[in-house]
């Protein structure tokens, strides 16, 4: 069980998260939707302490990190339970696709280099990029770079995969291949927390959809409940704006 409890985060005088609570079951896919600036990406970054919340607690099974009293060791233990997929790929430009995936295993998990590279190649095979192991990011399409980014997160076999708008930086022709990989992971029962503007993906893949506004969870439910029978006026307005209602 993964628990996010009473999470608060501010930037200066702007309160971005206002007491967010989420329980996530193993294998559950939760998609977070909402307008820009509502705290969705900040929430994801706080879950593995890329941003440090001022209040709240993150719990992933036996690992618990309190925002107000934690150590570097606590955060490292939490990050070992998670994988983060960024909007802009965040690949090392001087490393090949294979090396990008292997790097964390070598530096964080202290794997032998050859073992890490072999495992990275296996992941590339699994995500359909087996022939791109020696390619540098500049030689890959945006969709391929993002798939390598997902592969890098997968390498740690995380208990929770965090996706921060993984298709937002992609040209339209590359969106499908990234979403297809995410659907494949969903079928493998990978636990995922996904921030996205891809409403069709949310409808098809999510076990639960969360709508956020003004730093809070305003409504949540199954895709049918959220998209076909919304009750909150803010959610109804948002769905009208994105052409759902």
21 CB contacts (<8 Å, ≥6 apart)?
A: 4, 5, 6, 7, 217
E strand or H helix at 145: helix 142-154
Give the whole-angstrom CA distance, residue 172 versus residue 214: 29
**What pTM was estimated for this model as a whole?**
0.93
Helices vs. strands in the chain: H and E counts, helices first: 9, 10
Contact between 79 and 109 under an 8 Å Cβ cutoff? The reply is no
Coil, strand or helix at 177: helix
Structure confidence at residue 89 (pLDDT): 85
Bridging pattern class, strands 55-60 and 2-11: antiparallel
* C-alpha–C-alpha distance, residues 89 and 87, integer Å: 6
Helix (H, G, I), strand (E, B) or coil at 107: helix
Determine contact, residues 128/184, Cβ cutoff 8 Å. Answer: no
Sequence-ordered list of residues with C-beta below 8 angstroms from that of 229, at least 6 positions apart, any chain: none
Instruction: Write down the pLDDT at residue 245.
Output: 62
Of 39, 11, 7, 31, nearest in space to 20 by CA: 7
Per-residue pLDDT of the chain (245 residues; tens, 9 = 90+): 899 999 999 999 999 999 999 999 999 999 999 999 899 999 999 999 999 999 999 999 999 999 999 999 999 999 999 999 998 888 999 999 999 999 999 998 899 999 999 999 999 999 999 999 999 999 999 999 999 999 999 999 999 999 999 998 898 889 999 999 999 999 999 999 999 999 999 999 999 999 999 999 999 999 999 999 999 999 999 999 987 76
**What would the CATH number be for the domain defined by 2-89+160-241?**
3.40.50.300
Token pair 């969705």: residue: 40
């Amino acid at each position: 069980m993964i628990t996010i409890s009473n999470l608060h985060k501010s930037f200066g005088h702007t309160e971005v998260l206002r007491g967010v609570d989420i329980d996530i079951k193993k294998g559950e896919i939760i998609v977070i939707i909402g307008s820009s600036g509502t705290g969705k990406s900040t929430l994801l970054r706080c879950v593995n302490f890329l941003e440090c919340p001022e209040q709240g607690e993150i719990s992933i099974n036996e690992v618990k990190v309190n925002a107000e009293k934690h150590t570097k060791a606590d955060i490292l233990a939490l990050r070992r339970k998670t994988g983060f997929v960024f909007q802009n790929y965040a690949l090392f430009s001087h490393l090949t696709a294979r090396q990008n995936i292997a790097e964390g295993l070598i530096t964080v998990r202290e794997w032998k280099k050859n073992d890490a590279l072999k495992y990275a190649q296996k992941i590339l095979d699994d995500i359909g990029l087996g022939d791109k192991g020696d390619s540098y990011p500049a030689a890959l399409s945006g969709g391929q770079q993002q798939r390598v980014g997902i592969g890098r997160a997968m390498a740690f076999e995380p208990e929770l995969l965090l996706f921060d708008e993984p298709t937002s930086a992609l040209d339209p022709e590359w969106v499908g291949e990234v979403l297809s990989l995410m659907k494949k992971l969903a079928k493998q029962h990978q636990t995922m927390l996904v921030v996205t503007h891809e409403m069709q993906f949310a409808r098809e893949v999510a076990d639960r959809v969360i709508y956020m506004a003004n730093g809070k969870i305003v409504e949540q439910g199954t895709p049918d409940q959220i998209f076909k029978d919304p009750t909150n006026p803010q959610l109804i307005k948002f769905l009208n704006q994105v052409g759902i209602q």
